[in-house]
């Protein structure tokens, strides 16, 4: 899920890592990592850096990116608009995906059927990181959100036209997930519904029959989530809202839920109980993000069993967050190996588990 360690600095290396590490348990999608050392822990940092070069924006503060708060942020200069800026180039999704697509074609010679997984941070994520609270003022003409959303759609269209059926877009919702997790339960439906509708508007503008996955995330730096919710209720509320408003003619291939943080505390069935309220399309794979290499495998199996019991069905498995949160390739490989071990322990041999 999400980013990869900086050492995997080419599409070829990224794809080989996924295929060689997950093996038969790979879900059919491979990443095409950008050759950028910032892409690992701060997967949006290259985008924020490029936004900093736009004349319409003025810096608010500078950071060294050592923490979530220590980052570069901006504001619009008086009388300027983001609509005049080349946001498409700042995002850079299409350029990266087309380069990775060439590597995928070569990979098809030995592994036909693979699709490229292209990570797309939502416009709200980009805006929240670059402009902070200003992004929350959506009703005042969308000065930040709308230009980013328009550019995101254009990039998705370019990628779909280039790669056709060989691409799955992974929408990454770290800011939306954190917002739902930080809202009291009695008020949570509001931000969840707002996020679901925003995602629906974005996806509805994508080409017909394009494929999407949704990656919910609690935002990790140094492999530590920003928050540790007391239950799976926040991600269930957000996933249901997204599914409820999902537009026709676009495929919701999977929803990834971060439901494990690698702690060695006893497994609590009550934590997973809200999974019983998931209401996703029957064709949508639900991925349990609980494969953490620091957690004993026996305990992880208990957690997966509790999650599947609450959900009432089989779950695929993955890491809780992007593999770029791990400082080395070996640690990322351990996370994938942990997921594979969980999949191998499944008594149902017909199960199709996502080992990435």
Q: For residue range 199-234, what is the model confidence (pLDDT) as tens digits?
A: 999 999 999 999 999 999 887 766 677 778 889 999
How far is it, in rounded angstroms, from Cα 24 to Cα 351?
Answer: 12
Query: Which pLDDT value is given to residue 139?
Result: 43
Residue that the structure tokens 């990116």 belong to: 65
pTM strictly above 0.75: yes
Query: Which pLDDT value is given to residue 1?
Result: 58
- Per-residue model confidence as pLDDT tens for the chain (356 residues): 567 887 888 889 888 988 999 988 888 888 876 545 445 445 788 899 999 999 999 999 888 877 777 888 998 899 888 888 999 999 999 998 998 999 999 999 888 889 999 999 999 999 888 986 555 544 444 578 899 999 999 999 999 999 999 999 999 999 999 999 999 999 999 999 999 999 999 999 999 999 999 999 887 766 677 778 889 999 999 999 999 999 999 999 999 999 976 566 778 899 999 999 999 999 999 999 998 888 888 889 999 999 999 999 999 999 888 887 777 889 889 889 989 999 886 544 444 444 44
- In this structure, is residue 118 part of a structural domain? yes
Residue that the structure tokens 């499944």 belong to: 346
Residue that the structure tokens 């036209």 belong to: 161
Query: Which pLDDT value is given to residue 133?
Result: 59
Contact by Cβ (8 Å): 284, 245:
no
The burial class, CB within 10 Å (0-12 / 13-18 / 19+), for 208 is exposed
- In this structure, is residue 291 part of a structural domain? yes
- In this structure, is residue 5 part of a structural domain? no
Coil, helix or strand for 84? helix
Contact by Cβ (8 Å): 180, 231:
no
- In this structure, is residue 300 part of a structural domain? yes
Q: What angle do CA 197, 202, 208 make, to 5 degrees?
A: 115
- In this structure, is residue 157 part of a structural domain? yes
Q: Which ranges in 31-187 belong to alpha helices (H)?
A: 45-51, 87-91, 93-107, 123-131, 145-163, 174-181
- In this structure, is residue 257 part of a structural domain? yes
The burial class, CB within 10 Å (0-12 / 13-18 / 19+), for 226 is middle
Residue 36, domain extent: 11-344
How far is it, in rounded angstroms, from Cα 157 to Cα 237?
Answer: 29
- Name beta bridge partners: 225: 220
Helix axes 123-131, 174-181, angle to 10 degrees: 80
- Structure tokens given for 76: 């619009």
Say how many domains are in the chain: 1
Which CATH number covers residue 40? 3.20.20.210
Query: Which pLDDT value is given to residue 232?
Result: 95
Query: Which pLDDT value is given to residue 219?
Result: 78
- In this structure, is residue 3 part of a structural domain? no
Q: Which ranges in the chain belong to alpha helices (H)?
A: 11-22, 45-51, 87-91, 93-107, 123-131, 145-163, 174-181, 189-204, 233-245, 269-272, 297-311, 329-344
Query: Which pLDDT value is given to residue 140?
Result: 47
How far is it, in rounded angstroms, from Cα 56 to Cα 76?
Answer: 6
């Amino acid at each position: 899920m999400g980013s990869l360690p900086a050492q995997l600095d080419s599409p070829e290396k990224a794809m080989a890592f996924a295929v060689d590490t997950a093996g038969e348990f790979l879900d059919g999608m491979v990443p095409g990592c950008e050759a950028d050392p910032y892409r690992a822990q701060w997967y949006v940092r290259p985008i924020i850096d490029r936004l900093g070069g736009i004349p319409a924006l003025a810096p608010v503060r500078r950071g060294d990116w050592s923490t979530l708060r220590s980052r570069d942020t901006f504001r619009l200069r008086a009388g300027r608009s983001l609509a005049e800026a080349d946001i498409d180039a700042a995002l850079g999704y299409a350029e990266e995906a087309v380069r990775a697509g060439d590597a995928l074609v070569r990979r098809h010679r030995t592994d036909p059927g693979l699709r490229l997984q292209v990570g797309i941070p939502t416009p709200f994520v980009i805006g929240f990181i670059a402009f902070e609270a200003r992004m929350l003022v959506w009703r005042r003409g969308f000065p930040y959100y709308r230009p980013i959303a328009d550019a995101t759609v254009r990039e998705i269209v370019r990628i779909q036209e280039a790669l056709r059926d060989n691409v799955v877009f992974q929408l990454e919702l770290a800011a939306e997930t954190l917002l739902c997790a930080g809202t009291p339960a009695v008020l949570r439906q509001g931000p969840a519904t707002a996020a679901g509708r925003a995602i629906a508007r974005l996806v509805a503008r994508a080409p017909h029959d394009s494929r999407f996955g949704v990656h919910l995330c609690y935002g990790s730096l140094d492999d530590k989530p920003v928050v540790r919710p007391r239950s799976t209720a926040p991600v269930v509320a957000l996933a249901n809202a997204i599914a409820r408003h999902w537009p026709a003619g676009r495929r919701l291939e999977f929803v990834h839920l971060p439901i494990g943080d690698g702690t060695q505390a006893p497994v609590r069935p009550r934590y997973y109980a809200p999974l019983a309220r998931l209401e996703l399309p029957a064709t949508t794979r639900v991925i349990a993000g609980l494969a953490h290499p620091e957690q004993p495998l026996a305990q992880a199996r208990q957690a997966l069993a509790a999650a599947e019991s609450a959900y009432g069905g089989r779950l695929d498995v993955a890491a809780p967050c992007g593999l770029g949160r791990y400082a080395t390739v070996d640690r990322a490989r351990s996370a994938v190996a942990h997921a594979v071990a969980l999949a191998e322990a499944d008594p149902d041999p017909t199960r199709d588990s996502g080992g990435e």
